[in-house]
Amino acid sequence: MSATEMNGKELSKKIRTELAGEVLQLKQNGVTPHLTVIIVGDDPASQSYVRGKEKASAEVGMSSDIIALPSSTSEQDLLGQIDRLNKHDSVHGILVQLPLPDHINEQHVIESISPEKDVDGFHPVNIGKMMTGNSTFLPCTPYGIITMLKAHDVRMEGKHVVVAGRSNIVGKPVGQLLLNENATVTYCHSKTENLTDYTKEADILILAMGRANVIRGEHVKNGAVIVDVGINRLEDGTLTGDADFASTAAKASKITPVPRGVGPMTITMLLKNTIKAARGLSAVGK
């Protein structure tokens, strides 16, 4: 088999055009969806992600701002900023770029964001709603993955999904969302013995380990659907996923490329969540 590419850049373009229409409508009702992104420190990768979010917001007609704080910022100061934004009526979505410097407790920060403005879907209230299958903000990367699978008519019900990676941002929630779609889910992680015994059994394989090219053609089932969330930079500067693209694409039925795969979908879902947050406010007439 030779795989069809699930191109997240193309699908994002289509969805962002629809979102631009929704933003226009909200603006006509006097509400401009607004996202505030907080970044602490000067990690170049985080800075680049944050700029991407700002650019994408502008593309669909939303407004956004970035609050850049020095790495010496205290937890108390950061919580103070979030408290101010929670109370600010024209700020609909708040995103604190992770990771944070070691002296700041990430969980304290996540829990300080008002669940109604938590467009990352990381607040325990929103995670609880997601787990019980209730409407909420879904974490952006898992939401992007499910949206992509649906757009490509991938049947999830009854299928064996293997998730490799158990981060709070990707692995854990994507497994939960697939369970909500009636898939049978197996989680693997860094302590899993004989990882490839599991990957070989996957109808749908979600790779979120951050280990360049470790899954090769002989580790996947014929006709599998592969979603590669890994973004690994090789010594020569090129980006690659957790899957060795050539050998896995030769066996899979569908596969996401890296880059232009899951990455653009994450930002698109962030825009979608922010528009949803803005709607919540407009609904109560603020």
Q: Which is nearer to ligand GUN, 228 or 244 (CB)?
A: 228
213, 242 Cβ separation under 8 angstroms: yes
From residue 235, give the alpha-carbon distance in Å to each of 61, 229, 238, 240, 258.
Answer: 37, 19, 7, 11, 16
The CA-based angle 247-250-253, given to 5 degrees, is 130
| Number of Cβ atoms within 10 Å of the Cβ of 119 | 29
Q: Which of 120, 203, 228, 242 is catalytic?
A: 120
Residues in contact with ligand GUN, counted by CB under 6 A, come to a total of 8
176 catalytic per annotation: no
174, 181 Cβ separation under 8 angstroms: no
25 catalytic per annotation: no
Which two three-digit tokens encode residue 177? 């969302």
Q: Which of 97, 117, 221, 272 is catalytic?
A: 97
Q: Which is nearer to ligand GUN, 68 or 98 (CB)?
A: 98
Report the C-alpha gap between 283 and 216 in whole angstroms: 49
Residue 229 Cβ, how far from ligand GUN at the closest point, in Å?
10
Q: Does 118 bind ligand GUN (CB under 6 A)?
A: no
Residue 175 Cβ, how far from ligand GUN at the closest point, in Å?
16
Stretch that binds ligand GUN, among 78-86, 92-100, 125-133, 187-195 (CB under 6 A): 92-100
261, 273 Cβ separation under 8 angstroms: no
Residue 140 Cβ, how far from ligand GUN at the closest point, in Å?
5
Residue 97 Cβ, how far from ligand GUN at the closest point, in Å?
5
Of 26, 95, 138, 226, the one binding ligand GUN (CB under 6 A) is 95
Q: Does 96 bind ligand GUN (CB under 6 A)?
A: yes
| Number of Cβ atoms within 10 Å of the Cβ of 250 | 15
188, 211 Cβ separation under 8 angstroms: no
Report the C-alpha gap between 279 and 39 in whole angstroms: 25
Of 138, 148, 169, 243, the one binding ligand GUN (CB under 6 A) is 169
Q: Does 140 bind ligand GUN (CB under 6 A)?
A: yes
Residue 163 Cβ, how far from ligand GUN at the closest point, in Å?
16
191, 198 Cβ separation under 8 angstroms: no
Of 57, 64, 73, 97, the one binding ligand GUN (CB under 6 A) is 97
Q: Which is nearer to ligand GUN, 96 or 163 (CB)?
A: 96
Q: Taking CB positions, which residue lies at the least distance from ligand GUN?
A: 98
3-state secondary structure of 241: coil
38, 65 Cβ separation under 8 angstroms: no
47 catalytic per annotation: no
Could you list the active site residues?
A: 53, 97, 120
Site of interaction with ligand GUN (CB under 6 A): 95-98, 120, 140-141, 169
